[in-house]
Amino acid sequence: MKATFKPVSVRTGFNERDLRSLVKRAGGYWNPDKKAWTLSCMAAHDPGLEKRILDESLDL
């Protein structure tokens, strides 16, 4: 499995409906334990999401 398909967590604000829709269209799903969206690293590198990747999900 390539690293680009590794799941990462992305945080969005409650009122950021457009951004949440973008995450959903990219295949993301809500993770209530992390209070963040989970999606593939490749999808999270969209220009609107890259800066929102949570550091703990990188696991480098």
Share of the chain above pLDDT 70, in %: 85
Tally of domains within the chain:
1
For position 3, what pLDDT does the model report? 52
Contacts of 40 (CB under 8 A, 6+ apart): 4, 5, 6, 7, 8, 26, 27
Low-confidence residues in the chain, pLDDT < 50? 1, 57, 59-60
For position 58, what pLDDT does the model report? 52
Residue range of the domain that includes 35: 3-57
